Amino acid sequence: MNGYGSRRRFTLMAMLVLGGALAGMLADRACAQWPDGEEVAETYHNLQVPAQVTNSDMFGLIRDYGEVCVYCHTPHGGSTERVLWNRPLPSGPYRMYDEPLDMLADPQPTGNSLACLSCHDGTIGLDEIVNLPNGYDGPGPSATSIEECDGCHSGGSPPGGHDFEGVWFDTDLRKQHPISLLYDPARDPGFRSIAEVEAAGLKLFEGKVQCMTCHEPHSERFPPFLRIANSAGSLCLACHRTQPAEETAHFW
């Protein structure tokens, strides 16, 4: 009995150690799928990564179109210099930021913010594209949305998987940072000049604050896809002269 008990305890310990090591390896491998790189292929916006997962629970949820850029872009007239948007745009309607604003905001999202919301509001599938790439002869889009991804990948579960909590916004944007807003510091002295904003590394689009004012969707040099680092609120202070008193749910 003693010998059997010792062997059994040794076997159980070995299984626990091996199981822990394998779990760690799997978590590392899952995290290593996207190395947070400076190129889009090394970021979460490379949807070929989940498309190529062979896990039975995820197989086929996102189509592998064989290209990285095609999930968002299609070449214009065969030119790789000018690319057009390759996803359907969401129709909303959206509930916009509802706190008092001194600057003029569009009643619904406009510009490149609509492009971002075509994935992030959860109403359109991640692999739904307008033009399938030449040479692709597989099935059409699976239409799996970011909301469905969040159903399993939230709160750090499963271990090693990407946590979609915070990147699925729904169509209720009231607690998110305002977008589609005409940036006019003359209306509010608490904001920096346009020249200061652009010198800090942020971008305005037709004079407006959009998602891509703060976010660079092609690089994770400054997570989460930020144009500049956000240490000690430096991103906020690129526009605001002091830290905003009103918190939003957008940065996590």
Which one-letter amino acid corresponds to residue 218? H
Q: What is the pLDDT of residues 130-176, one digit of tens each?
A: 999 988 999 999 999 999 888 888 776 666 567 777 788 899 999 89
Q: Which residue has the tokens 């689009």?
A: 205
pLDDT of residue 16: 35
SS (H, E, C) 47-84: CHHHHCCCCCCCCCCCCCCCCCHHHCEEEECCEEEEEE
Of 34, 100, 12, 43, nearest to 217 by C-alpha is: 43
Q: Which helix (H) or strand (E) holds 153?
A: none
What single-letter DSSP state applies at residue 132? P
Sites in the chain below the pLDDT cut of 50: 1-34, 252
Return all residues near 72 (Cβ < 8 A) that are at least 6 apart: 45, 85, 86, 87, 115, 217
- Give the bridge partners for 84, in sequence order: 74
Return all residues near 55 (Cβ < 8 A) that are at least 6 apart: none
Which one-letter amino acid corresponds to residue 4? Y
pLDDT of residue 243: 86
pLDDT of residue 71: 96
143: number of Cβ within 10 Å: 14
Read out DSSP for 161-224?
A: S---TTT--TTB-TTSPP-SEE--GGG-TTB--HHHHHHHT---BTTEE-HHHHB-TT--SBTT
